[in-house]
Amino acid sequence: QVQLVESGGGLVPPGGSLRLSCKASGSSFNTRTMAWFRQAPGLEREYVASNRRSGETTYYSESVKGRFVMTRDNAENAVYLQMNNLKPADTAVYYCADARRLILSALHLSHMYDNWGRGTRVTVSS
């Protein structure tokens, strides 16, 4: 079973930046759909970004498009989330998830993902 471990969260002022990392164990990483979700207190888990395979398009939610960049490094079995111009509304626990190759219309559906990390907390506050 794949294990996912996130890191890089912390406290950052509005307008600041953070880079989250997610390291995956196991093989076949380069064929897995990888995604970031987040969950704010009292709210449901929310889709942030996903990538089905290196070289393919990375998709973003409207709330983070233009501010967040997701990348993946198959040699390191890792995905990253560069978060810029952070806002208080970005405060949440961020989770990394993976799945077998998903169709585009399923990328934002959390129940379609097989494995999840424990999350890393991001707090945007002055």
**Closest CA relative to residue 85, chosen from 61, 67, 70, 63:** 67
CA gyration radius for the chain?
13
What is the chain's mean pLDDT, rounded?
95
Which residues neighbour 107 within 8 Å (Cβ) at sequence distance 6 or greater? 33, 35, 47, 50, 52, 59
pLDDT at 42 over 80: yes
Q: Please check whether residue 21 is in contact with residue 8, taking contact to mean a CB–CB distance below 8 angstroms.
A: yes
Mean per-residue pLDDT, 95-110:
93
What pLDDT score was predicted for residue 119? 98
